[in-house]
Amino acid sequence: MNIEKHIEHTALKPETTLADIEEFCAEAKAYEFTMVCVPPLFVKKAKELTASSAVKVATVAGFPLGYNAIEAKVAEIVLAVIDGADEVEMVINTSAVKNKDWQYLANEINTVLPIIRGKGKKITVILETALMTDEEIITACDIYGAAAVDYIMAGTGYSADENAVEHIKLIRKHLTEAIQIKSAARSVNFNFARQLIQAGVNKRSCNNGIQLIQEALQQN
């Protein structure tokens, strides 16, 4: 398993510094990670730092809680695109999920998607699966599957998901193969990352990618 091809090197801690971004981008190039995900403030710099490589740059919108107004997410996405982001990862409104306001979520994705598609970018929709029932996850998959998003991510990494592997299996079951899956489940070792990948994860959003590679090499 080429674990590095599944890793999205992520630096989204609230205390992230410019030095952190420089380090993460250098690591992403050295280890051939597919992407770095950085706070909106650092998108321009990350694009500069990865310009000579195949590493893509992602950023977030509505992160980490997701209950920002649709207009606020639109503004974040527009700025991200202007700054050069290749992909935007948007947290859905979990309050709307709990209110069963599915039309709100449909309106949200249908509002932001033309902005993404119009600029040839990609979008990841983040579900805070740790806070959602199976029924809510399935309904969300129906909505975002119909919208034909690029990725669905299970979790922001802020809420511990004790059923992360089962949630990945559930999401995979209710999406077409055209929509890929990411996971931000807290992963402390390679064995757990491998379980997630075997369950259907295409990309792992994490900040310990180098550790995972080292553990993978030790097991080979």
The residues, ordered by sequence, that sit 6+ positions from 33 with a Cβ below 8 Å of its Cβ are 4, 7, 8, 9, 27, 55, 209
Which residues are within 8 A (CB) of 13 and not within 5 positions of it... i.e. 6 or more apart?
20, 207
pLDDT of residue 187: 66
- Nearest CA among 54, 64, 86, 53 for reference residue 13: 64
Q: Note down the domain range covering 71.
A: 3-219
**Whole-angstrom distance, CA of residue 10 vs CA of residue 56:** 12
pLDDT > 70? residue 7: yes
At residue 1 the predicted structure's pLDDT band, cuts being 50, 70 and 90, is: low
CATH number reported for the structural domain that contains residue 180 in this entry = 3.20.20.70
pTM for the model: 0.96
Percent of the chain topping pLDDT 90: 91
Integer Cα distance of 138 and 214 in angstroms: 35
What mean pLDDT comes out for the span 154-165?
93
Cα–Cα distance for residue pair 215/103, rounded to 1 Å: 44
According to DSSP, residue 88 is labeled E
For the cut 80, the answer to whether the pLDDT of residue 188 exceeds it is no
- Residue 128's pLDDT is 97
Beta bridge partners of 60: 89
pLDDT for res 186:
72
| Domains in the chain, number | 1
Asked whether the predicted pLDDT for residue 185 surpasses 90, the reply is no
Please write the tens of the pLDDT for every residue from 45-82. Answer: 999 999 999 999 999 999 999 999 999 999 999 999 99
The closest of 78, 75, 141, 71 to 108, measured between CA atoms, is 71
Q: What is the pLDDT of residues 92-147, one digit of tens each?
A: 999 999 999 999 999 999 999 999 999 999 999 999 999 999 999 999 999 999 99
Residue 176: what pLDDT? 96
Q: What is the mean pLDDT of the chain?
A: 96
Confidence (pLDDT) at 200? 97
167-192: average pLDDT = 92
Mean pLDDT of 188-200: 91
